[in-house]
Every structure is written in C-alpha cells, then in structure tokens.
C-alpha cells in the first residue's frame, strides 16, 4: 500500500506539479487522506522524502532508457542530454524540480534531503563519467559535473520561462564546443 501510494503521488505530482504544495491536496487528488499518508510515511517529512526519492527514481530510469537508446558519446553529453531534457515530458520533471527548489529554499530544514538527492546524485554520476572518459582528477571532474548540471538546469529554467528554443539550442552547442575544445587542447 505504501509503495502504491507513493507511486500514485509521484505520478500525480509529475503530471500536475505541486499545486499548493500541501500533502492534503495531493492526498485528495490520489484518492486517500492526509491521515493515511502520515500513517504510512510516519510524518510529512517522511512523505516528502519518499516522494522525492520516487521522482528521482523515475527521472533516472527514464534518463537511462533514453541514453541507452541514443548512444553514449561523452563529448556530446549536453547536446544529447538537451534533446531529451527539453522534451515536454521531461519539462514536467524540471518544473517539479524547480518547485521543490523553491519549497526547499523556504523551509530548508524540512527539505534538506531534497537538495542532496537532486544535486549530489547527479554530480556523482556526471563526475564519475567525466573522470573515466577524460582521465580527470576527482576534484576537476566534480567541478565540470557541477558546471554541466548548472548549465542544463539554467537553460531549462530559461526554456520554461521564455520558450526561446533556438537561442537555447545555440547556447547548448556553444557549451559543447567549448568543452570539446578544452578536452582536445589539454
């Protein structure tokens, strides 16, 4: 029941966003009650943590499927990634991530796990890949991983706000060209 609840909640939130950000609203829309959510997850914080983990699991699984089907060239990671991340389906995930960022900024103690889940996990994945593909030291790989993550998330925020696809596509291509130049000139 607990797993089913969190999957329904994640599906609902991914489709509709956080709405007013209340557990009561989410519970109502997935056919349960705030009391049942607290019963199954122990607290509001337990629910939010489980929800973030489920959304992250969905995000990672969808990303793995996409990248497995579209090759694995490390130099074109941002361009290839952007082709996927800028789809309407994935834009819903980014909208939710940005909503969770705001929620975390407003109440950092309540949502501390979110920041680490959605930032540190991607930094780790990207830095391991960069270190392996380009023989980078760990700290250097982590710096580039953070830069890539910031680039993608910043450009997504720009896309969500402006819908300026052509200009953003040029920025993605420029980032790839700069990174390729750096890699080939070292």
What pLDDT does residue 131 have? 87
Residue 148 near residue 136 (C-beta atoms within 8 A)? no
- CB-facing half-sphere around the CA of 94: CA atoms within 13 A: 22
What pLDDT does residue 77 have? 63
Compute mean pLDDT per 10 residues along the chain, 186 residues long, and list them.
92 79 87 92 86 83 76 62 82 82 80 73 84 88 90 92 93 89 80
pTM: 0.74
What pLDDT does residue 73 have? 56
Least Cα distance to 141 among 108, 182, 102, 171 occurs for 182
The fold of 1-51 is Arc Repressor Mutant, subunit A (1.10.10)
**How far apart (Å, rounded) are the C-alpha atoms in residues 183 and 134?**
7
What pLDDT does residue 167 have? 95
What pLDDT does residue 83 have? 81
**How far apart (Å, rounded) are the C-alpha atoms in residues 46 and 67?**
31
What pLDDT does residue 9 have? 92
What pLDDT does residue 19 have? 64
Q: Where are the domains of the chain?
A: 1-51, 73-184
């Amino acid at each position: 029941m607990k797993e089913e609840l969190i999957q329904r909640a994640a599906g609902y939130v991914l489709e509709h966003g956080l709405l007013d950000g209340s557990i009561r609203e989410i519970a109502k829309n997935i056919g349960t009650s705030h009391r049942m959510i607290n019963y199954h997850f122990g607290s509001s914080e337990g629910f939010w943590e489980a929800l973030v983990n489920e959304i992250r699991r969905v995000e990672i699984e969808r990303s793995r499927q996409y990248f497995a089907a579209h090759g694995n060239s490390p130099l074109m990671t941002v361009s290839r990634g952007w082709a996927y991340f800028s789809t309407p389906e994935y834009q819903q995930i980014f909208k939710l991530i940005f909503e969770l960022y705001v929620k975390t900024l407003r109440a950092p103690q309540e949502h501390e796990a979110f920041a680490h889940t959605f930032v540190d996990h991607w930094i780790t994945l990207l830095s391991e890949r960069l270190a392996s593909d380009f023989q980078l030291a760990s700290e250097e790989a982590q710096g580039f991983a953070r830069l890539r993550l910031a680039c993608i998330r910043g450009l997504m925020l720009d896309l969500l706000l402006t819908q300026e696809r052509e200009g953003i596509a040029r920025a993605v291509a420029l980032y790839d060209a700069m990174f390729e130049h750096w890699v080939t000139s070292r």
